[in-house]
Structure 1
Amino acid sequence: MKTRRGWFIAACLLPGLAMYLLFKVYPAVQVFQKSLYLWTGVADKPKFIGLQNFRDMFHDDAFLLSVRNTGLLMLVVPVVTLLIALVNASILTQSKLRERGFYRTVFFFPSILSFVVIAILWSFIYHPTMGFVNSGLEMLGLGDWALPWLGDQRTVLWALAVTLVWQAAGYYMVMYMAGIDSISPDLYEAASIDGATAFQKFFHITVPMLWEIIRVTIIFSINGVLTISFVLVAVMTAGGPDRHSEVVMTYLYGQAFTNSNFGYAMAIGVFIFVVSILLAFISNRLTQRGSH
């Protein structure tokens, strides 16, 4: 009976496992393999060049600039996003607002929008003449501060960062609200009786009790910057001006589908994979100390 059950389970799992190996594992192995070749397309015969693609990568100024831009976004956006999400979640759960459900829906709404829709929306918001930002500055008498936000090398990356924060903050806020709802109200009541302020309850009850969720959202947020920034940059700036909004994913795409340099693009893909694993490991190790 146990043997039949084992064969039945194996038969149910085998199709899914086969699909996973075929469409996930095999392409990943091919990326690692083809990163060692000079390959300009499907019809071209790959030429083995060893680690030359990786050597070229670290002498490519455009690639290094894209790494710098991506690094700045990955450093700033997760911190700001998660801080806003955590503060908003704490306010909405502790203040017992009647409109709590409404605010939850409003803040979460950007997370269900298509990334392309978000990119188009914020392109109009940042528009130099018709955009909400410059129009608002004009109304406030601050017209001298108006800038072509997506066309200025000094501001383009930070304009993208604001868009990334706006898109993701509500998603993580809902996660934190669910975590706070699971915390016993007796803890907050006892702290109030002892004279604890709202800030003390936030730092001594809310944050420690949510720490495991915060650790997970840090990794999610870092990886989210990689994927979402690709769409935003591709639609809003195309890497401009002068590559000052170029991120690693858009540079990879350009090398593969614009320059037909697939071997080099796959080497960049390997670089992204290794860096993502390292960042997840480092993040996990750094935050683990605070979980005990």
Structure 2
Amino acid sequence: MRLRLTVAFFLPPRFTPESVRYDRRYRKLDQYRFVVWFLALPVLVYGVFVVSPFLQAFFYSMTDWTGYSASYNFVGFDNYERMWHDDKFWDATRNSLLLLVIAPLVTLAMGLFFAYMLTAGGRRRNTAVSGVTGSGLYKVVYFFPQVLSLAIIAVIWARIYSPRSGALNAGLDAVGLGSWQREDWLGGSVAIWCVLVVLCWSFVGFYVVLFSAAMSAIPQETYEAARLDGAGRARTFFQITFPLTWDTVRTGWVYMGIQALDAFALVNVMVPEHGMDVLPSYLFEKSFRDGQAGYATTIGVALFLITLVFATVMMRVGRRDRVEL
């Protein structure tokens, strides 16, 4: 009978023998068969186009492949040993980790503040909460950088940071802070902070809209009850708004962290050559400029592991019981 059930699992229901079809075990088997066959094609596509490239990356990271020919030699863990002693790799990793920690913290904090002001920062009669006047227009203004590509944003901010004709030095001079002017904003120790400013500016509008939508889903009665209890705006935010939007904040944190790790476009377009590196830009340099695709793939594996660890930690540390209204 087990053999018949196994064969029936791979047969369409119309071809299943009646002796098996009316068996109680077949009913449960039929449920699993539907799920398996329904997911078979998506899982196959995912495996071919997502999982397979990752496995190939692990393989090529153990070779001396140049990226420009079909020939390569297997070198084992030599690339990983070389990466461990590569000072430029650790400098790029340090910059990427700095962006990973600070960029989500600043961007999400600003997004939450602006979203709360646009959603519950106003005062209107007969309304428990309301946004500030013109909140719809503000959302459009905040979201505008999302319409631009990162390459265009990088070009614009590169002109702003330009030491000769940039708006930053000119603005500092206009307000009497000429001593703060710098000859090289994007090539010294402050380059990472300049990139951080652009990264936060370009993504904060997305989180304003995202958090505004999450806050708009909170029932008005909850705010009315808090207002009757005498809760102010700060207390309302930290005891009602923030807990009820925590799932959205956690998801946004993971997404913003991945965006911070993938700062290639900003660094490659905005920062002069050898000004600073992050892991994606250093990977690009080794692969396409130096013809060391095998070693570049090793850096990609390290970037993959950092991203995986970050996402796993955030999803586990941020886990909490769902708040029911």
Letter in 2 for 1:137: L
What is the match of residue 315 of structure 2?
284
Q: Which residue of 1 aligns with 2:161?
A: 126
Question: Aligned pair 1:202/2:202, yes or no?
Answer: no
| Structure 1, 141-150 or 113-122: larger mean CA deviation | 141-150
Please tell me whether residue 246 in structure 1 is matched to residue 277 in structure 2.
yes
Structure 2 unaligned residues grouped into runs of 5+? 1-11, 16-32, 123-130
What is the letter of the counterpart of residue 250 of structure 1?
S
Is the contact between residue 90 and residue 177 of structure 1 (CA under 8 Å) also seen in structure 2?
yes
Could you tell me which amino acid in structure 2 is paired with residue 27 of structure 1?
P
Amino acid across the alignment from 1:46:
Y
Deviations 1:98-137 (A, max 9, x none): 3111000000111121010000011111111221211111
Instruction: Choose between structure 1 and 2 for higher RCO, CA contacts under 8 A separated by at least 6 residues.
Output: 1
Instruction: Answer yes or no: is the 8 Å Cα contact 1:233–1:239 preserved in 2.
Output: no
Distance 1:169 1:109, change over 3 A: same
Equivalent-residue separation in structure 2 for 1:151 and 1:102 (angstroms): 33
Secondary structure at the aligned position of 2:76 is classed as coil
Tell me which residue corresponds to 2:73: 47
Distance 1:290 1:155, change over 3 A: farther
Which secondary structure does the structure 1 equivalent of 2:318 belong to?
helix
**2:139 match:** 104
The 5-angstrom pairing of residues 214-253 of structure 1 reads: 214-227=249-262, 229-241=263-275, 245-253=276-284
Aligned-pair identity in percent equals: 34
Which amino acid counterpart does residue 281 of structure 1 have in structure 2? T
Match of 2:21? none
Q: Which amino acid is the alignment partner of residue 265 of structure 2?
A: V
Q: Which amino acid aligns with 2:280?
A: M
Equivalent runs, 1:170-209 vs 2, <5 Å: 170-209=205-244
Return 5+ residue gaps in structure 1 as ranges: none
AA paired with 1:263? Answer: G
Contact preservation (8 Å) 2:68, 2:291: no
Residue 193 of structure 1 deviates from its aligned partner by 1.4
Segment of structure 1 superposing worse, 72-81 or 147-156:
147-156
Aligned CA distance change for structure 1 residues 202 and 12 (closer, same or farther; 3 Å): closer
- Choose 1 or 2 for highest CA Rg: 2
Moved more, 16-25 or 103-112: 16-25
In the TM superposition, residue 218 of structure 1 has moved relative to its aligned partner by 0.7
Residue 147 of structure 1 pairs with residue 173 of structure 2: no
Q: CA deviation at 1:25?
A: 2.8
Cα distance change, pair 252–199 in 1 and its aligned pair in 2 (3 A)? same
1:85 corresponds in structure 2 to: 111
Contact 2:226 2:236 in 1 (8 A): yes
Give 1:22 deviation, angstroms: 3.8
For the residues of structure 2 that align with 1:262 and 1:155, how far apart are their CA atoms?
30
TM-score, normalization by structure 1? 0.91
The residue number in structure 2 matching 1:59 is: 85
Q: What amino acid is the match of 1:163?
A: V
Per-residue CA distance 1:176-228 (angstroms, 9 max, x = gap): 0000000011111111111111100010111000011111011001001122x
Tell me, in whole angstroms, the C-alpha distance in 1 between the residues paired with 2:112 and 2:245. Answer: 10
Assess, with a 3 A threshold, how the Cα gap between structure 1 residues 28 and 180 changes in structure 2: closer, same or farther.
Answer: same
Amino acid of the structure 2 residue aligned with 1:127: S
The 10-residue stretch of structure 1 (65-74 or 129-138) with the greater mean CA deviation from structure 2: 129-138
The 1-side partners of 2:267 and 2:147 are apart by: 19
